[in-house]
């Protein structure tokens, strides 16, 4: 696996079969709104950074805020003949889009360092765009940029030293999301809850990525904390490694639920509760089944 602070994930998503139709339509409208916000704020190529994780960040911010998001029917770039509901540009979408671009920039730097040609060349071609987007986002959110950069360096150091502690290896990603979530509120008590929730979700995302990549990391002899933690020269059997990863993820999910329940949401509680209580579990079950499993169980 590669530096997780800089990965563009898609693990934090709802469990579609248990969403009401109106909730699913709202979620899709916010997803589409974020796509448009990325393009509006950072150019059309920024749409490539769109993911469920950034949609969750925007949705949570909207759920905590005083102002209700607005929606309207608009054309879609990928389906121009059919209009669909879309969330109108707002601060929540702008914040999430800016976070996406900051993380994308550091992801590009990480990939340039870790990948081989010809993949390395493709990332070098994308670097000028990523650098311009990061400069714009960092001008508005300098603390975010600084914090993400610091955690990226910490992540790289842990992996270069072959850290065999899952807790330590997941710390930079956990700290990064803790800060991103904390910034969603100005109220001290709520900030503490959000920081804890972000920390746990960051840890969960890191562990999901490690679980997702176990087979490939073993084959390519790449860093993976679960493999190193096993202590065996070639790691434990793949099924055993996945079982241990799922155990760690289940413990983390239990703490995530406890933190989430402390939040006082003004709206979208049904969607967010679906993500936390059902979506995370469904993601882990899919990842534990390996690459041969169907990946269409989410949205």
Q: Does the residue 119 lie in any domain?
A: yes
| 34, 83 Cβ separation under 8 angstroms | no
Q: Does the residue 297 lie in any domain?
A: no
Dihedral, CA of residue 15, residue 19, residue 25 and residue 31, to nearest 10: -30
Whole-angstrom distance, CA of residue 159 vs CA of residue 157 = 5
Q: Does the residue 177 lie in any domain?
A: yes
- Per-residue buried b or exposed e for 195-208, using 16+ beta carbons within 10 Å of the residue's own CB: bbbbbbbbbbbbbb
Whole-angstrom distance, CA of residue 242 vs CA of residue 163 = 19
Q: Does the residue 281 lie in any domain?
A: yes
Backbone angles phi, psi at 74, to 5 degrees: -140, 165
pLDDT score for 3: 53
Whole-angstrom distance, CA of residue 116 vs CA of residue 231 = 28
Tokens of 138: 């960092």
Q: 210: cis peptide before it, omega within 30°?
A: no
Q: Does the residue 16 lie in any domain?
A: yes
Q: How many structural domains does the chain have?
A: 1
- 123: closest CA among 289, 2, 270, 280? 2
> Which residues are paired to 74 by β-bridges?
84
Whole-angstrom distance, CA of residue 103 vs CA of residue 130 = 10
Q: Does the residue 206 lie in any domain?
A: yes
Which helix H or strand E contains 74, and what residues bound it?
strand 71-76
Query: The pTM is what?
Result: 0.92
Report the SS3 class of residue 208.
helix
Whole-angstrom distance, CA of residue 51 vs CA of residue 299 = 11
Residue 161: give its domain's CATH number.
1.10.600.10
What residues contact residue 86 under an 8 Å CB cut-off, 6+ apart? 29, 32, 33, 36, 71, 72, 73, 74, 76
Q: Give the domain range for residue 57.
A: 4-288
pLDDT score for 232: 57
Tokens of 281: 């579990």
Which helix H or strand E contains 280, and what residues bound it?
helix 280-288
Tokens of 146: 């600084």
Q: Does the residue 247 lie in any domain?
A: yes
Whole-angstrom distance, CA of residue 108 vs CA of residue 52 = 19
Tokens of 244: 């241990």
Q: What is the mean pLDDT of each run of 10 residues along the chain (299 residues)?
A: 56 96 97 96 93 97 95 86 92 98 92 79 91 97 96 92 95 97 97 98 97 90 89 72 95 98 97 98 94 56
């Amino acid at each position: 696996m590669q530096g997780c602070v800089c990965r563009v994930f898609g693990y934090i998503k709802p469990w579609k079969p248990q969403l009401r139709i109106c909730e699913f339509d709202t979620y899709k409208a916010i997803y589409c709104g974020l796509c448009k916000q990325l393009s509006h704020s950072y150019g059309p190529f920024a749409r490539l950074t769109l993911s469920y994780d950034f949609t969750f960040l925007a949705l949570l911010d909207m759920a905590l805020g005083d102002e209700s998001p607005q929606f309207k029917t608009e054309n879609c770039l990928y389906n121009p003949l059919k209009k669909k509901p879309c969330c109108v540009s707002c601060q929540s979408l702008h914040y999430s889009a800016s976070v996406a671009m900051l993380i994308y920039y550091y992801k590009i730097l990480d990939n340039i360092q870790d990948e081989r040609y010809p993949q390395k060349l493709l990332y070098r071609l994308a670097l000028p765009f990523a650098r311009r987007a990061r400069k714009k986002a960092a001008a508005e959110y300098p603390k975010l940029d600084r914090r993400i950069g610091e955690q990226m360096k910490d992540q790289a150091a842990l992996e270069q030293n072959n850290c065999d502690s899952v807790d330590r290896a997941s710390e930079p990603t956990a700290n990064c999301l803790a800060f991103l979530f904390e910034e969603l509120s100005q109220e001290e008590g709520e900030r503490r809850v959000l920081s804890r929730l972000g920390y746990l979700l960051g840890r969960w995302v890191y562990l999901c990525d490690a679980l997702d990549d176990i087979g490939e990391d073993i084959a390519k002899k790449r860093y993976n904390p679960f493999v190193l933690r096993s202590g065996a020269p070639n790691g434990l059997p793949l099924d055993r490694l996945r079982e241990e990863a799922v155990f760690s993820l289940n413990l983390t999910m239990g703490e995530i639920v406890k933190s989430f329940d402390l939040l006082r949401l003004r709206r979208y509680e049904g969607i967010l509760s679906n993500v936390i209580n059902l979506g995370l579990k469904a993601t882990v079950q899919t990842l534990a089944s390996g690459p041969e499993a169907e990946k269409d169980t989410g949205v």
